[in-house]
Structure 1
């Protein structure tokens, strides 16, 4: 029983530190830049960038792929003003996927559909 009391006291003592650490975050952009700077989706996947790109190209209309450094970029939407920019960056075990949506651009395809296909292609 003394071990349990000791463990409980240790956990209670560590709780405030854990809460402070959980609340900390990186600096955020100014309020007017937040919508444009925050990714709509930011996720890691065990699938390779080429596998995710192929999957998205098969499921979404109007996808244009390009290379930027070591990353693959997919512009989704009209050719003159893409609605979404998907960046697929290789990582140790797969890919990091970042999806940006310009609030001033159209939502073509609709955001719900885009999120569904991102989820489907990254699993």
Structure 2
């Protein structure tokens, strides 16, 4: 059982690296801007992959997901050519907002500290 987990994790990491390169070099959609692949979570049978993406651009999250979903067939084809897997996983893109939440929490902490220093 642990070997299966290690293999699925290695495959997920490889998919993440390959997708990051493909999105950066091959996709010409202007909606994508500064998109990065934050992580990939594979199903146990390696047939489905949830791809978590983040963006630093001002483009709406829904537009980014739509653009990537539209390009999913192309991306799967390119993954199949480069990775030599028996089954290339079906890609489902999900926006990962942990970066934005982290920035928001950091800002709240900074505000609280500055208010505390001002009251003393």
**What TM-score do you get using the length of structure 2 for normalisation?**
0.28
Structure with bigger helix share is: 2
Structure with bigger strand share is: 1
**What TM-score do you get using the length of structure 1 for normalisation?**
0.28
